[in-house]
Amino acid sequence: MTNQVKSRAMSIASNFSNIISTALPKIKDFWQQTKILLNKTSKTITSQAKIAFETSQIIIGFLLKKADGSIDYLAHHPALDKIESFNRNVNIRIRQLFATLQKTSFYKKIGLYAQLIRLDKPIGILLLLWPTLIALWIAAEGWPDPLVLFVFVTGVILMRSAGCAINDYADRHIDSKVARTSQRPLTSGKITEKETLLVFASLSLTAFILVLFMNELTIWMSLGGIILAVSYPFMKRYHYLPQVHLGAAFGWSAPMAYTAQANEVTAITWLIFLATILWATAYDTMYAMVDYDDDIKIGVKSTAILFGNQDKLIIGAIQILLILNLLLIGHRADLSGFYYLGVTAASVFAVYQQYLIKDRKRELCFQAFLNNNYFGLVLFIGVFLDYQFADIV
């Protein structure tokens, strides 16, 4: 039995050895043939690539020469000279027309009207814009209706401009006695009183036409806005709180905007209105501090004169009331994190304004007044972000 097993094992080993000895030469031959094929393929690909590269060089060179010739031909073509000459003449004519236009009475009038309505000083537009936008966003609880937004942004620009015109008309005999305002168009005689009233009427009428696209309640409220805008400039002759009157005139845009969007008047509406009055009283008192000496000489009344040596303290108290009012608005409108961050940032600006007016220097008081743009901006950003991310936070 053992011999049979050994015999079979030797037979298997012999067969395996024969298979290997037969396969190895074939594998070796297959590998050699494969190497030859790869070498030939590589040489063919390299050769073809070289031919393709050389051919592309020839083609590209030919095209470049043709393009260069074409460009050179076009560059020296008489038509281009005519086009260049025509363009040069057109530019010369445009400059000449513009220079002529600048010398016309029409152009000068437009420039004077722009100065009259303070388009070169947009701070007033911004101070009126922020409470209007805040009222719109709170009333809509987010983005307001596009038409309402357009009407009130445009209305802010129109009514602030109209306010400047009627203010200059009211102060036409006063501004000449104040160095800062003596060169205003009306005061200096560059435009007439009739023109000033016409500008005011045109701007106010345009604003009123826009309001007619709003709901009935807003239209009726706009009449109060006109009365406040017209009466404000004259108040400095009759009482020491024209800044409060300005606050009411500026602030009236907020309840109008809220009503236009929500078609109702709520407690929040009047809180925003009150906040705007407080804010305007504070910043316009800073502005009045700039003209304090001139106003005393002329006999014009203002909160800066009324507050006297307590002006900084009273402005600070008004600012504290304003911040408390803003907190109450946030509570009633169910606002949260971003809004209160905006109120915090605004409070920092209020403190900075107190720092600026501490010595009552004219330039710094005016800077404090201008800084209120950032006060309103951060408040609006807070409201905007609060509604924008209300579903996330």
pLDDT of residue 307: 87
pLDDT of residue 70: 67
Say yes or no: 85 and 149 in one domain.
no
Say yes or no: 333 and 265 in one domain.
yes
pLDDT of residue 237: 76
Say yes or no: 135 and 103 in one domain.
no
Say yes or no: 239 and 337 in one domain.
yes
Angle between helix axes 146-170 and 216-231 (nearest 10 degrees) is 20
Q: What is the pLDDT of residues 47-80, one digit of tens each?
A: 777 787 777 777 877 777 766 666 666 666 677 6
Query: What's the CATH code of the domain at 285?
Result: 1.10.357.140
Task: For the chain, give the mean pLDDT.
Answer: 84
pLDDT over 70, % of the chain: 87
CA distance 260 to 133: 12
Say yes or no: 298 and 173 in one domain.
yes
The answer to whether residue 27 is domain-embedded is no
Say yes or no: 102 and 251 in one domain.
no
Say yes or no: 98 and 154 in one domain.
no
- pTM, to two decimals: 0.72
Q: Is the pLDDT of residue 317 over 80?
A: yes
Q: Is the pLDDT of residue 278 over 70?
A: yes
User: Comparing C-alpha atoms, which of 376, 359, 381, 164 is closest to residue 280?
Assistant: 376
Task: Calculate mean pLDDT across residues 24-32.
Answer: 72
The answer to whether residue 303 is domain-embedded is yes
The answer to whether residue 371 is domain-embedded is yes
The answer to whether residue 41 is domain-embedded is no
Say yes or no: 191 and 303 in one domain.
yes
Say yes or no: 290 and 152 in one domain.
yes
Kindly report the number of other CB atoms within 10 A of residue 304's CB atom.
Answer: 25
Say yes or no: 101 and 139 in one domain.
no
Among 149-153, 183-187, 326-330, name the one with the lowest average pLDDT: 183-187
Confidence of residue 393 (pLDDT cuts 50, 70, 90): low
Among 156-170, 175-189, 205-219, 363-377, name the one with the lowest average pLDDT: 175-189
The answer to whether residue 91 is domain-embedded is yes
| Domain that residue 313 falls in | 129-388
Alpha helices in 212-266 (DSSP H): 216-231, 242-251, 253-262
The answer to whether residue 283 is domain-embedded is yes
pLDDT over 90, % of the chain: 43
How many CA atoms lie within 13 Å of 287's alpha carbon, on the beta-carbon side? Answer: 18
The answer to whether residue 208 is domain-embedded is yes
Confidence of residue 286 (pLDDT cuts 50, 70, 90): very high
CA distance 303 to 350: 18
Say yes or no: 168 and 280 in one domain.
yes
Q: For the chain, how many structural domains are there in total?
A: 2
The answer to whether residue 185 is domain-embedded is yes
Query: Left (φ > 0), alpha (ψ -120 to 50) or beta: where does 360 sit?
Result: left
- Which residue's structure tokens are 């060089």? 57
CA distance 265 to 251: 14
Say yes or no: 198 and 85 in one domain.
no
Q: Which structure tokens are listed for 177? A: 């006695």
Q: What is the pLDDT of residues 359-389, one digit of tens each?
A: 989 899 999 999 999 999 999 999 999 998 8
Among 187-191, 266-270, 276-280, 281-285, name the one with the lowest average pLDDT: 187-191
CA distance 267 to 208: 26
pLDDT of residue 102: 61
| 359 class by beta-carbon count within 10 Å (0-12 exposed, 13-18 middle, 19+ buried) | exposed
